[in-house]
Structure 1
Amino acid sequence: MKTNRILTLAVLCLLTGGLYSCTKDKNVAEDAPKQEELSAATLAQIKAQGFSTEGARKIEGGYLVEGDILLTDENLTQKVESPNLVIAKEEQYRTTNLVTTLPQVITVSVSNLPQVYKDATNIMIARYNALGLSLTFQLATTGTIGKIDIVGFNEGPSGGFITLGSAGFPTSQGKPFNKIRMNTNPAAYGTNPNLNYLASVIQHEVGHCIGMRHTDYMNRAYSCGSAGAGNEGQAGVGAIHIPGTPTGPDANSWMLACSNGGNRTFNANDIIALNYLY
């Protein structure tokens, strides 16, 4: 699906064996200063994990690859194992690690962000809970930090794109990734963010936190509408088809790499995939 926003994912806890998680806007005039180049050894480690090295850069906490995936130094030394589950050939995909100890209630907190982010989080929670999964979500008690904490960061455009948000994959201990970062820079969502659009981005990021990869990870050009969007790399994800899901592309999945800039929630195939896993 053609879009102007590339959704990215910060993979802080890769599989032992992550663009809603991070989103980017095309055609943004302002550019950030040039990033430092990575060493050949680091680039080789990134490539060995199955991720593209194009545009990889050092950021706080690790290395941002493919626009939205954050790899820590620990991730880069982890053994990539395969096969992992693929839900439909060009459909839903999950990482090696999933959330375990089911059923489970995952609390979500919103720290130091405007009220609209908490409102959007409540919409996200209602959307997931309506599916009747063994994972349910609830807003954390005021003043406490949830199992997933939504925090803000401020980062302007870089290279014609802007990151909207990022998240990671579940830990090897079966815990959901514990943080979603949402960009508060006005160039990301504007000064008055659209509530349903914000909810859709958070919904996508939560998908990463519980183990979902982009549905079009093999070729982001499918949703991003650009040949230069790139192949995210297999990163240990195999090709085991989940019965009941299609084997062709799906233009409406909530886990597409690129946002349509508006309200996007689960479609029928997404629900099949989530019910298969949870």
Structure 2
Amino acid sequence: MLKKAAVLVASCGALMAGCGTDVDSNNNNEEIVSNLIKAGFPADDIMVVGDAVYVGRDAQVSLEASREMLQSDHGTQEQYRTTNLVSTGVTKICVNPTAAFNSYSRLSQGLDLAIGNYNSLGLSFTLARGPTTGCSANITAQTMSGAGGSAGFPSGGLPYGVINIGTGLQSYSVDVNEHVITHEIGHTIGFRHSDYYNRAISCGGSATNEGSAGVGAILINGTPATATVGGSIMNSCFRSTESGEWTSSDITALNVLY
């Protein structure tokens, strides 16, 4: 998680003249504000008073500290979440495959492995393959054409209710199926694409920014602000060599949120 001690270089209680310890130029202040926004601070929580930049109305942030916020010891891939997340009241999410989904052996195996990925982390919820009992939320796993997947984002404290997995994945390895299904479940609990701001990082081609998509794109504390090929299960596009396993920053992001 974010090391607050590195960020909050001076606590002044109120915005009083002369309370800051670091004085930056106007140009530096522009970079500080930019870095804070990239680090996930809401723009309306950032204030420039005189020659100093504050967050939370009483914490001055130096240029060095703002740059440090964009660094991390947890891998090389950033993580973003939506405004909406799954509530703490959801403790068991049941993933219910359709008969058509179960007819594809690698999709079915991939689902079991994806469920195992989440359950291995000791999160605030567990996943279970349905049909089963005791579910506080349900997700239907169904098929679509092609070799990819789609899903939606949480609403009302519940995960999105459907993941669509392409039947073309049957021709890929079980690990790739595990990767794609883990990815789509990630969306249902509130994860954006790690490279949403430039899909070309994992997909190639020209740079494309997905924008906020009306659901927000909030940087998760403890994850860096750079994206790399293969750096996260939540990258926009997958490769035929995917292992299906979490990266270190995937684990960090999940533990921060859940």
Same fold (TM over 0.5): yes
Amino acid at match of 1:179: V
Aligned to 1:166: 150
| 1:107 Cα offset (Å) | 0.7
Aligned to 1:117: 107
- For residues 97 and 255 of structure 2, the distance between their equivalents in structure 1, rounded to whole angstroms, comes to 27
SS of the residue 2:183 aligns to: helix
| 1:224 Cα offset (Å) | 1.2
| 1:232 Cα offset (Å) | 0.9
- For residues 189 and 120 of structure 2, the distance between their equivalents in structure 1, rounded to whole angstroms, comes to 17
- For residues 247 and 205 of structure 1, the distance between their equivalents in structure 2, rounded to whole angstroms, comes to 22
Please give the root-mean-square deviation of Cα atoms over the aligned residues, in Å: 2.8
Q: How does 1:262-277 map to 2 (within 5 A)?
A: 262-277=242-257
| 1:277 Cα offset (Å) | 0.5
Contact 1:169–1:211 (8 Å) recurs in 2: yes
Aligned to 2:95: 108
| 1:195 Cα offset (Å) | 1.2
Contact 1:204–1:255 (8 Å) recurs in 2: yes
What is the TM-score when the length of structure 1 is the normalising length? 0.58
| Structure with larger Rg | 2
Amino acid at match of 2:138: K
- For residues 119 and 138 of structure 1, the distance between their equivalents in structure 2, rounded to whole angstroms, comes to 14
Over residues 170-215 of structure 1, what are the superposed CA-to-partner deviations in whole Å (9 max), with x where a residue is unaligned? 11x111001111222xxx335x442111111000000000000000
SS of the residue 1:208 aligns to: helix
| 1:119 Cα offset (Å) | 1.8
Aligned to 2:158: 175
| 1:135 Cα offset (Å) | 1.9
| 1:153 Cα offset (Å) | 2.6
2:234 paired residue among 237, 244, 255 = 255
| 1:274 Cα offset (Å) | 0.8
Contact 1:98–1:211 (8 Å) recurs in 2: yes
Q: Measured at CA, do residues 241 and 193 of structure 1 come closer, stay the same or move farther in structure 2, by a change above 3 Å?
A: closer
Contact 1:245–1:269 (8 Å) recurs in 2: yes
* Higher deviation after alignment, 267-276 or 249-258: 249-258
Aligned to 2:169: 189
Structure with the bigger RCO (C-alpha within 8 Å, sep 6+) is: 1
- For residues 238 and 142 of structure 1, the distance between their equivalents in structure 2, rounded to whole angstroms, comes to 34
- For residues 195 and 223 of structure 1, the distance between their equivalents in structure 2, rounded to whole angstroms, comes to 20
SS of the residue 1:137 aligns to: strand
- For residues 100 and 131 of structure 1, the distance between their equivalents in structure 2, rounded to whole angstroms, comes to 18
Over residues 2-52 of structure 1, what are the superposed CA-to-partner deviations in whole Å (9 max), with x where a residue is unaligned? xxxxxxxxxxxxxxxxxxxxxxxxxxxxxxxxxxxxxxxxxxxxxxxxxxx
Amino acid at match of 1:176: P
Aligned to 1:65: none
Aligned to 1:92: 79
- For residues 233 and 263 of structure 1, the distance between their equivalents in structure 2, rounded to whole angstroms, comes to 28
Contact 1:219–1:231 (8 Å) recurs in 2: yes
Runs (4+) of structure 1 exceeding 6 A deviation are: 87-90
Over residues 96-125 of structure 1, what are the superposed CA-to-partner deviations in whole Å (9 max), with x where a residue is unaligned? 110003461101111022243222111111
Identity among equivalent positions (%) equals 39
Aligned to 1:147: 138
Aligned to 2:223: 245
SS of the residue 1:214 aligns to: coil
| 1:233 Cα offset (Å) | 1.4
Amino acid at match of 2:234: M
| 1:239 Cα offset (Å) | 5.0
- For residues 109 and 120 of structure 1, the distance between their equivalents in structure 2, rounded to whole angstroms, comes to 13
Structure 1 residues without counterparts, runs of 5 or longer: 1-81, 155-161
The number of residues matched between the two structures is 180
- For residues 182 and 241 of structure 1, the distance between their equivalents in structure 2, rounded to whole angstroms, comes to 27
- For residues 123 and 184 of structure 2, the distance between their equivalents in structure 1, rounded to whole angstroms, comes to 17
Structure 2 residues without counterparts, runs of 5 or longer: 1-41, 44-68, 72-76
